[in-house]
Amino acid sequence: MLGQYFYHESIRKTIVAFGSLFNDVFIIRKNAADKEVQTLKVPLAYGPKQKFLVRLVGDPNLDQKVAITLPRIGFELTGIDYDPTRKLNRIIKQKKVANPAGKTMNIQYAPVPYNLSFEMFVMTKNSDDGIQIVEQILPFFQPEYTVSIKEVPEMDIVRDVPIILNNISYEDTYEGDFQTRRAIVYTFSFSAKCYVYGPVSTQLPVLKADVKSYADVTKATAERVQQYSISITGTQEGDDNFGFNEYTSEWIDAAP
């Protein structure tokens, strides 16, 4: 946009970070003697996918003998909302030496705050499976859990992103006729407070500054009274411990 391409994967990274939180959820089933006999790792997947891939990956040989394998966790991005409460001054710049040898700096303006809304769905066949999953998730969100995301590696930006658990709803269609499937589905609603970053531009470092002072700028030919110059010494590279040279000239009566 506006003549430049950039893509920092801010939203994609937040989706991955969010999903990875629920990567190691287990269900343990015990027998009547209270001995652990099954340990299930719950499959997790981002919900929205190309339909042809769902079909081809899920049943490539047309031999899927069952309806679905449960339990499962699915999640999806459901909303992107601007968050004015976290707004920063738009002219704040983030700077980083890009290439010391090349004497360049990376410049990036302040990111814009957005809340990403996620919904996560837990589907189980058994009620106990469902509450095992729920109980492994809830204690970590009070009501937020914070992850540190490497948002813009080229600018060394690592930001803590709180992921807030807003609410949970629960559906169990156990009533009705016998031919209707029973579905136990927990729906978790989350918000992730992330930022979306603009382009990174490159500029040379400032090596010299000249300041000229004038006595009366309302006049057509203002009289200069002082000139101040400052320039750096040394190798002029980004990681150089350089010094400064300063010059000051003053005019008492009128500008030359």
CA distance 211 to 231: 12
Dihedral sign, CA of 220, 221, 227, 231?
positive
User: From the CB of 73, what's the least distance to another protein, in Å?
Assistant: 8
User: From the CB of 195, what's the least distance to another protein, in Å?
Assistant: 14
Site membership for another protein, residue 36 (CB under 8 A): yes
Q: What is the CB neighbour count within 10 angstroms for residue 15? A: 19
Q: DSSP string covering 180-227, please?
A: SPP-EEEEEEEEEEEEE----EEEPPP-EEEEEEES-TTSTTPPEEEE
Site membership for another protein, residue 19 (CB under 8 A): yes
Site membership for another protein, residue 67 (CB under 8 A): yes
Binding mask 68-107 for another protein (x = CB under 8 A): xxxxx-x-x-------------------------------
In the set 6, 59, 82, 170, which binds another protein (CB under 8 A)?
Answer: 59
Of residues 14 and 105, the one with the C-beta less far from another protein:
14
Site membership for another protein, residue 175 (CB under 8 A): no
Instruction: Tell me how many residues contact another protein (CB under 8 A).
Output: 60
Site membership for another protein, residue 138 (CB under 8 A): no
Binding site for another protein (CB under 8 A): 13, 16-17, 19-20, 23, 29-32, 36-47, 49, 51, 54-55, 57-59, 63-72, 74, 76, 121, 123-129, 145-150, 158, 177-179, 181
